[in-house]
Amino acid sequence: MGDPYRRRKRPRPMIEQPKSQFRQLAEILRRRITDGEWRRGDRLPGEHDLAAQYGLSRHTVNQAVGLLRRDGLVRVERGKGAVVTVLPQQITRAAVARYQRPEREREQARGAFDAEIRRLGMAPHVEYRRVGRATPPAEVAALLGIDTGEQNALIRDRLMWADDVPVQIATTFIPWTIAEGTQLAEQDSGPGGIISRFAELGLAQTRVTERITVRTPSDEEGQFLELDPDQCVYQLVHTGWTADDQPVEVTVHTMPVALWRLDYEWPLD
C-alpha cells in the first residue's frame, strides 16, 4: 500500500520547511494574538513599524497581514490600521435543534438565533432590512418552482448582530400566492415564527433540506459583514417542504466562515 505522500515529498528537513518571510511573520503575529498579547479591539502596530522592526519591506509585511485578514483575525480600515477582531469562540448553529418543537417557546427564527448568541455571552440583535414583494434570484425561483424574473415572492430580509459584530444575513423567500395577505408578509411573523403560520395555512412543513457551499462574499455582503474581500462565507440554502413535497420557503443564510460552525444531528435506523 505504501505511503502515498512519499510520492510528492522531498526528504524533509529536520527542523522545519523553509517558509517565505511573510508566512513566518504571519505566524508570529498570529501567535501574539492567540496568546492574548493582543486582544479583540487592540490595534496592531503600523505596517511601517513592523517592517522596520523585522527588517522587511512594507510590502512583505502587507502580505503577512493579508493572511491574518483572510483568517478573520484582524480587520483593516483604510487610514486607521489593523484591529484584532477574532471572537473568543465561534458561534454554533445547531441546525436540527433550532427547528424542533417550534410551538414550545418561540425557539424558531429569531428565537433560535437569540439562543445561539446568548450562549456565548453576547447580545443578539436582529434588524429587518426589507419585508415585501420582490423578484427572487433565479436559483431561488427554481427551487420554489415559480417563474423566473417576476415579482412573485415575499422577501423577508434581515441582518443579525452579536453585540456590535455583524454575523449573518438571512433572506427568506415565500411564493407570493402563499404569503399574500397573511401574517407571513408582516414584519412580526407572530408567535412560533413563520413555521407556525405555515401550519395554520394548512401548509405545515414536514421536511427540511439545507445545502452548504462556501464562496467569496459579494461587495454588498462584504460591506455589511465588514469582511475583507479575501474572506469566505458559508452560503446555506434552507428549504422547507410540505407533506406533499411542495417547497413553501427558501431561506439563504450568509455567514462568515471565521465566525460560525454548523452542527447537524440525525438518527440512524
Q: Considering CB distances under 5 to 8 angstroms, the limit depending on partner class, which of a copy of itself, DNA, none binds residue 234?
A: a copy of itself
Is residue 163 at the binding interface for a copy of itself, with CB under 8 A as the rule? no
Which of 105, 139, 150, 263 forms a contact with a copy of itself (CB under 8 A)?
263
Q: What is the DSSP-derived secondary structure letter of residue 88? A: S
Q: Is 17 left (phi over 0), alpha (psi -120 to 50) or beta?
A: beta
Total interface residues for a copy of itself by CB under 8 A: 52
Q: How many CB atoms lie within 10 A of CB 13?
A: 8
**Which lies closer to a copy of itself via its Cβ, residue 6 or residue 181?**
6
Span from 30-38, 55-63, 87-95, 196-204 in contact with DNA (CB under 7 A)? 55-63
* 198: enclosing H helix or E strand: helix 193-200
Is residue 85 at the binding interface for DNA, with CB under 7 A as the rule? no
Is residue 209 at the binding interface for a copy of itself, with CB under 8 A as the rule? yes
Residues 6+ apart with CB under 8 A from 228: 69, 70, 75, 76, 222
Is residue 43 at the binding interface for a copy of itself, with CB under 8 A as the rule? no
Read off the C-alpha cell for 26: 504571519
Task: Give how far Cα 210 sits from Cα of 23, 131, 161, 221, Å.
Answer: 36, 23, 22, 20
Which of 29, 44, 179, 233 forms a contact with DNA (CB under 7 A)?
44
* 81: enclosing H helix or E strand: strand 81-84
Which of 43, 129, 150, 200 forms a contact with a copy of itself (CB under 8 A)?
129
Q: Considering CB distances under 5 to 8 angstroms, the limit depending on partner class, which of a copy of itself, DNA, none binds residue 79?
A: DNA
Q: Report the alpha-carbon distance of residue 191 to residue 108 in Å, rounded.
A: 9
Q: Considering CB distances under 5 to 8 angstroms, the limit depending on partner class, which of DNA, a copy of itself, none binds residue 176?
A: none
Residue with cell 502596530: 45
Q: To the nearest whole angstrom, how small is the minimum distance from the Cβ of residue 169 to DNA?
A: 22
Is residue 34 at the binding interface for a copy of itself, with CB under 8 A as the rule? no
Is residue 164 at the binding interface for a copy of itself, with CB under 8 A as the rule? no
Q: Report the alpha-carbon distance of residue 197 to residue 186 in Å, rounded.
A: 11
**Which lies closer to a copy of itself via its Cβ, residue 35 or residue 219?**
219
Q: Report the alpha-carbon distance of residue 135 to residue 140 in Å, rounded.
A: 10
Q: Report the alpha-carbon distance of residue 67 to residue 145 in Å, rounded.
A: 42
Span from 47-55, 91-99, 125-133, 234-242 in contact with DNA (CB under 7 A)? 47-55
Q: To the nearest whole angstrom, how small is the minimum distance from the Cβ of residue 173 to a copy of itself?
A: 18
**Which lies closer to a copy of itself via its Cβ, residue 114 or residue 230?**
230
The 3-state DSSP class for residue 139 equals helix
Residues lying near DNA in the complex (CB under 7 A) are found at 10, 20-23, 44-49, 55-60, 62-63, 65, 76-82
